[in-house]
Amino acid sequence: MAKRTRIVNCKVTEQELARIRHLADAAMTTTSGYLRSVALSEDVRLRRMTALQAELRKLGGLQKHLATLHDWTPEQRRQFDCVRQTLIDTAKLVQEAVHAR
């Protein structure tokens, strides 16, 4: 990748700067990286979605581990399975969103 050596200046209001920084944080990138991505029509949500997908996988792994460590009542098992299925469904939706881009 070519080294970035050029600087672009842009005047914004305090409110605009606050919003840009907030959106950059939400996209898990720097302010410069966010502005560059938006200006070049890149999808700034992809990194965030990928991170969310990884977190959901971690939660699923923890759920699987917990399932083996506990003697469940039928009601607890039902609740546990409901949470597990919600994690699986959400992870699939995130995966579809990531791959649709």
**What pTM did the predictor assign?**
0.52
Tell me: do 52 and 35 sit in the same domain. no
Same domain? 52 vs 96: yes
SS3 9: coil
pLDDT in tens, 5-42: 999 999 999 999 999 999 888 888 899 988 998 888 87
Query: Between vectors from CA 26 to CA 85 and to CA 52, what angle results, nearest 5°?
Result: 25
Could you tell me if residue 20 is inside a domain? yes
Would 2 be classed as within a structural domain?
Answer: no
Number of domains in the chain: 2
Range of the domain at 31: 10-42
Measured between alpha carbons, how far is residue 22 from residues 28, 34, 40, 69 in Å?
A: 10, 10, 19, 41
* 62 and 86 assigned to the same domain: yes
How far apart, in Å, are the Cα atoms of 87 and each of 36, 54, 97? 33, 12, 15
Amino acid residing at 83: V
61 lies in some domain = yes
Chain segment 65-101, per-residue pLDDT in tens: 887 777 888 888 888 888 888 888 888 888 777 776 5
